[in-house]
Amino acid sequence: MCGRYTQYQAEVRYLERLNWQAPLAFEPSEEPLERYNVAPTTRVQLLHRDEDGLRISAVPWRYAPHWAQAQRDGKPRPHGKPVINATIEEAPTNPYWREAWKNRCLVMADGWYEWVADPEGNAGKQPYYIRLKSGEPMFWAAIGQFPRGAQAQPSAQDGFAVITTASERGMVDIHDRTPVVLPPDAAREWVEPGLSSERAVDLARHHTEPAAAFEWFRVGKAVGNVRNDGRELIKPLPETLAADPSLIKEQSTFDLF
């Protein structure tokens, strides 16, 4: 899985899709987030559950455990480069993820980008955008460290990583790894207090959205620059639309163009 995704809908829209019926520990915003090029290390709106209900916190997309961080000039600095993804094969048992695995959370997303070798043989790689065919928001399984409780303050050690799994069928042509995308019922269970490690692994392995639920298409290379951000980044290239007119959706459904 590559390191860019979109998070452009409003918090209330993600909660509608999640069909959350339990208490909320915050007032969800109706303002669209409008992020079309989320990059690693930036702060991202993350769903997690506290004692008083579901909460959204702005948490950096990168993770390093506290024992892997050294003090320099009074500030924590990780040994080596923090990571942004954790494989489902290693996260439940690898000591690096021991604490983070206990802190499960959800990434709200609308799609993500992958880069593949340009089929026309041009220099550089061709970006593809991947989303649910339904146009609905999606929820990625994630783990990390984040503020707890209404009075909690952000910490320099806060961060999260996305759980990834092996790609299925046609998706493997784009990339061999994908985020663990949970349907709403499994996503709600993922953040339940007291969820066992065994059940979490089962959810991530056997209760995800199938490859057939997704579609992907070529987009412009402007997404490769983290300074670029806007809905034009997820617009299919003209030749893609010509080859597959079904990608032209009603704006009321996808709000893309």
Catalytic residue among 2, 105, 136, 209: 2
Other residues' Cβ atoms within 10 Å of the Cβ of residue 217: 18
> 139-163 burial by CB neighbour count: b if 16+ within 10 A, else e?
bbbbbbbbbeeeeeeeeebbbbbbb
Which helix or strand (DSSP H or E) is residue 137 part of? none
DSSP characters over 32-89: B--EEEE-TTSEEEEEEEETTEEEEEEEES-B--GGGEEEETTEEEESS--BSEEETT
* Annotation marks residue 105 as catalytic: no
Taking the CA atoms of 133, 138, 143 and 145 in sequence, report the sign of the dihedral they define. Answer: positive
* Annotation marks residue 114 as catalytic: yes
Catalytic residue among 11, 105, 114, 136: 114
Contacts of 64 (CB under 8 A, 6+ apart): 78, 79, 80, 82, 83, 157, 159
Question: Which sequence positions are flagged as catalytic?
Answer: 2, 114
